[in-house]
Amino acid sequence: MAVFSRYSRAATAATMQRQTATATATFSYLIRTFSSPFCSSSSNSLNSETDLNRGNKPDVLGTLKREPKGRNVQWVFLGCPGVGKGTYASRLSNLLGVPHIATGDLVRDELASAGPLPSKLKEIVNHGQLVSDELIIDLLSKRLEAGEAKGESGFILDGFPRTIRQAEILEGVTDIDLVINLKLREEALLAKCLGRRICSECGGNYNVACIDIKAEDGRPAMYMAPLPPPPQCASKLITRADDTEEVVKERLRIYHEMTRPVEDFYRSRGKLLEFNLPGGIPESWPKLLQALNLEDHEDKESAAA
Ligand code: AMP
């Protein structure tokens, strides 16, 4: 199987080459993909002195639509499991016309395929562990390569990078413009994962959880309405195998251990936009757009209707 042999090659090479600088040779697929048209000009990247956390708007956010000659955005979503990366990445992807690439989806597609790799993979994923950096980079490279062949440009990554090594490799091959770090109160995260439902036919994401946290100890109340499926999906809903209480707790633990340092990695480079979700989509989406200096005309029109 081609994927398997490429994975083995990458894994073997990675063992031999520990330094990120030499990963350039190891992950030739990624590099090939990131050389034009994905490759950005340095003028598009954020000034590391820009303090996003104090609310200053970096130039790139204000000029997204005004630079027809520039390449599309290259953004990353970080955040704990259940925070809503997929929801907001997919909305931004529709708004900006760039692909939303979720490495979790790539892993699940791989799991759905036949062969020796899926049974090993299934065990790792169903226990909430991370798959190897080599495998995830191989899957991502193939996805980017296929997108490039179809004329895609730019991306919004969701679920990658999840380790410092992945972040270093990505940083070594392209300019990431912006990293949006979504945050949600811890008590809502577990409930949101347990309430997640997926349409087995169209892949749509819904949620049956109704989160209603009362104001307490000076913290404001928070309400997040369920996100019901449309009638055509209602009878086809499934639950992800890794959305059980035990596995979600393990995924949260792994996030804190392996992925929190990635937040610091981008923070120190001036690329991190911290965004505290104030509630469900109706409250959060307009605020996120505001933080990004974007407008969603369709959303405004449907709200006004
Ligand atoms: P997600 O849908 O993002 O929650 O990802 C589901 C699972 O896929 C994770 O629990 C990991 O097992 C695997 N996975 C996704 N992205 C990565 C990554 N960047 N690095 C390692 N494992 C990943």
Judge if the beta carbon of residue 86 lies within 6 A of ligand 1: no
Distance CA 107, CA 164 (A): 19
Judge if the beta carbon of residue 103 lies within 6 A of ligand 1: yes
pLDDT of residue 287: 97
3-state DSSP call for residue 208? coil
CA distances from 170 to 3, 4, 148, 274 (A): 20, 22, 17, 20
pLDDT of residue 78: 98
pLDDT of residue 302: 66
Under 8 Å between Cβ of 77 and 180: yes
- Mean pLDDT, consecutive 10-residue stretches, the chain (305 aa), reads 31 35 37 34 31 40 42 95 96 96 95 82 95 96 95 96 97 96 94 96 94 91 95 97 97 98 97 96 96 83 62
45-184+258-293: what fold? Rossmann fold (3.40.50)
User: Is this structure's pTM higher than 0.75?
Assistant: yes
What are 116-154's pLDDT values in tens digits? 778 889 999 999 999 999 999 999 999 999 999 999 999
Judge if the beta carbon of residue 292 lies within 6 A of ligand 1: no
Distance 62 CA to ligand 1 centre (A): 32
pLDDT of residue 115: 74
Distance CA 19, CA 282 (A): 45
Under 8 Å between Cβ of 205 and 87: yes
CA angle 138, 73, 149 (to 5 degrees): 50
Q: In this structure, which residue's CA is closest to atom 5 in ligand 1?
A: 104
Distance 52 CA to ligand 1 centre (A): 27
Two structure tokens written together for 30: 């990624």
